[in-house]
Amino acid sequence: MEKRSILHMLDPMPNISPFDVNMAMDAGFDVLMPYSNVKLDNVHGLTQDAIFSRSPAGIKRTAIFIGGRDLGLALDMLNACKHAMVPPFEVSVFADPSGAFTTAAALVACVEKELKLKHGKELRECNAVVFGGTGSVGIATGVIAALAGATTTLTDHLMADTALDVAAAYNRRFDCHLGGALAGSEEDKIKLVADADIIFCTAKAGIQVLNAAVLKEAKQLKVAGDVNAVPPVGIEGIKRSHFGEPISHAVNSQGAVGIGALAIGDIKYQLQNALLKLMLETDKPQYLDFRDAYVKAREIL
């Protein structure tokens, strides 16, 4: 009889995300085992308990998911899992803290598609600004875009130093070239959008970050993506269902188009489902993070 599939869900927070639980069940896992308040130094022991308790046949039906909210910690936990493996006792591991890796990958891939389709441009030819850039989705978005070659700036709405510190930390981690800036006032935002080819809006739900007056000052905007599905949307003029529709308020940027939260969310859903299923279907253990998510998102699109 085939072993039941088990997904061990490690999370440093008090609760596992219900979103991730639903996604894992829909992907086909038989048993979900949540672990909350997990510290980095717990990961090695938990991983080895998971791998040594099943036969080779059972190992293929076992996987680990890493959640939480801290991107750096999630990546460190994934690395700790990898170092705890003792082949052939080795299972797949997928890190997606707060869904940030799959959301960011979907966002960047959607923007990239419209950038090529509507403007014949590559990410490496563009200046990108990430509003809400010091949150989990914003950081992941910025890193993906920067690694793809875009000149990318993370913004913080309270302090420039916060954005600069986050950019420096992830530049060290991934050898990329993120910048940081303050986006606290309308004047700050106008300066940031003036020369932006791409705008990524990853700020908190229910907050309008860019209004029509700011967008009118965007001189070379080509594509803007907004992940906020809760009214008011993050960028005025982009509807949640938009996928490449013109942005009427970007009057100084001919051909500027927008991508809304539901369009991005559809790709994010397909993406997370595909990566969870991959852990059940693969014969070779996989270690999945935002880089794998971005590759798969481009395939889906």
Buried b (16+ CB within 10 A) or exposed e, 203-218: beeeeebbeeebbebb
Higher pLDDT, 157 or 253: 157
CATH, range 6-99+267-300? 3.40.50.10280
Mean pLDDT, residues 22-43:
97
| Phi, psi dihedral angles at 193 (to 5 degrees) | -80, -15
Picking from 81, 151, 98, the residue whose alpha carbon sits closest to that of residue 122 is: 151
Q: How confident is the model at residue 57 (pLDDT cuts 50, 70, 90)?
A: confident
Looking at residue 56, its pLDDT comes to 78
Q: Per-residue pLDDT averaged across 93-115, rounded?
A: 98
In the predicted model, is pLDDT for residue 264 greater than 70? yes
pLDDT of 249: 77
Mean pLDDT over 148-162 rounds to 97
Sequence-distant (6+) residues with CB within 8 A of 295 are none
Q: What pLDDT score was predicted for residue 43?
A: 98
Is the pLDDT at 234 greater than 70? The verdict is yes
Residue spans per domain, the chain: 6-99+267-300, 103-264
**Do residues 54 and 250 lie in contact, with contact meaning Cβ atoms separated by under 8 Å?**
no
**How confident is the model over 197-219, as a mean pLDDT?**
94
pLDDT band at 111 (very low <50, low <70, confident <90, very high): very high
Least confident residue range of 13-17, 30-34, 92-96, 204-208:
204-208
Q: Is the confidence at residue 204, as pLDDT, over 70?
A: yes
pLDDT-derived band at 52, boundaries 50, 70, 90: very high
pLDDT at 55 over 80: yes
Low-confidence winner among 160-164, 194-198, 199-203, 205-209 (lowest mean pLDDT): 205-209
Letter string b/e over residues 7-26, b meaning 16 or more CB atoms within 10 A of that residue's CB? bbbbbbeeebbeebbebbee
Give percent of the chain above pLDDT 90. 92
Q: Which fold has domain 103-264?
A: Rossmann fold (3.40.50)
Categorize the per-residue pLDDT at 1 as very low, low, confident or very high, splitting at 50, 70 and 90. low
pLDDT of 287 above 80: yes
Mean of pLDDT values over 31-52: 97
pTM: 0.96
Mean pLDDT of 60-81: 96
Is residue 15 pLDDT above 80, yes or no?
yes
Per residue in 249-263, pLDDT (tens digit) is 777 788 999 999 999
The mean pLDDT of 209-238, rounded to a whole number, is 94
Q: Following DSSP, what letter does each residue of the chain receive, concatenated?
A: -PPPPEEEEE-SSSS--HHHHHHHHHHT-SEEEEE-S--GGGHHHHHHHHHHTS-HHHHTTEEEEE-SS-HHHHHHHHHHHHHH-BTTB--EEEE-GGGHHHHHHHHHHHHHHHHHHHH---GGG-EEEEETTTSHHHHHHHHHHHHTT-EEEEEESS-HHHHHHHHHHHHHHHT--EEEEE--SHHHHHHHHHT-SEEEE---TT---B-HHHHTT-SS--EEEE---SSSPSBTT--TT-EEEE-TT-TTSTT-EEE-HHHHHHHHHHHHHHHHHHHHH-SS--EE-HHHHHHHHHHH-
Please tell me if the domain spanning 6-99+267-300 has the same topology as the one spanning 103-264.
yes
**Average pLDDT over the chain, rounded to an integer:** 95
Torsion from C-alpha of 84, 85, 86, 88, nearest 10 degrees: 170
- Which of 3, 1, 118 has the alpha carbon at shortest distance from 54? 3
In 3D, which of 161, 145, 156, 225 has the Cα closest to residue 192?
Answer: 156
